[in-house]
């Protein structure tokens, strides 16, 4: 669970930094807002907690539907945290929510693959 949570956090950090660097290369400097920086700093703690909860949920769930529900809850909390910045910085907020979504969805294909393999094995044992 710790490895999966750490992988989600590292993927989110890597995607965010890559997107910001790509923006800087194409368009130049980014507007710096103190409130956005503080919210980004605090969001690291929230995303860490969401990544851990998502990993625990996905590794302990019994069905695909349960995994999707857990992902949906984490995504809803993540998007709600960033809802206040959509009015002033819609693109950066969309970037952060999108990066968080990609990082949280990363384990879902693994879950679906392994649950499908288990289902096929159960059928072949009959």
Is 85 inside any structural domain?
Answer: yes
Domain extent for 99:
2-121
Give the distance, in angstroms, between the CA of residue 4 and the centroid of all CA atoms in the same chain: 12
pLDDT digits (tens, 9 = 90+) for 10-65: 989 899 899 889 888 988 877 777 778 888 888 889 999 999 998 888 888 777 78
Give the predicted TM-score (pTM) of the model: 0.75
Count Cα neighbours of 65 within 13 Å in the Cβ-side half-sphere: 0
Is 126 inside any structural domain?
Answer: no
Task: Identify the three-state secondary structure at position 45.
Answer: helix
Is 38 inside any structural domain?
Answer: yes
Is 13 inside any structural domain?
Answer: yes
Domain count for the chain: 1
Count Cα neighbours of 116 within 13 Å in the Cβ-side half-sphere: 6
Q: Please work out, in degrees rounded to the nearest 5, the angle formed at the alpha carbon of residue 110 by the alpha carbons of 53 and 20.
A: 70
Is 15 inside any structural domain?
Answer: yes
């Amino acid at each position: 669970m710790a490895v999966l949570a750490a992988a989600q956090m590292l993927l989110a950090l890597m995607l965010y930094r890559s997107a910001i660097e790509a923006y800087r290369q194409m368009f130049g400097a980014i507007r710096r807002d103190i409130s956005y920086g503080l919210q980004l700093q605090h969001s690291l703690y929230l995303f860490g907690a969401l990544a851990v909860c998502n990993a625990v949920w996905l590794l302990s769930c019994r069905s695909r539907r349960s995994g999707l529900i857990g992902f949906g809850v984490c995504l809803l909390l993540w998007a709600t945290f960033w809802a206040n910045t959509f009015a002033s910085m819609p693109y950066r907020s969309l970037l952060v929510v999108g990066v968080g979504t990609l990082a949280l969805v990363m384990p879902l294909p693994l879950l679906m693959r392994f649950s499908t393999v288990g289902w096929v094995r159960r059928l072949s044992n009959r």
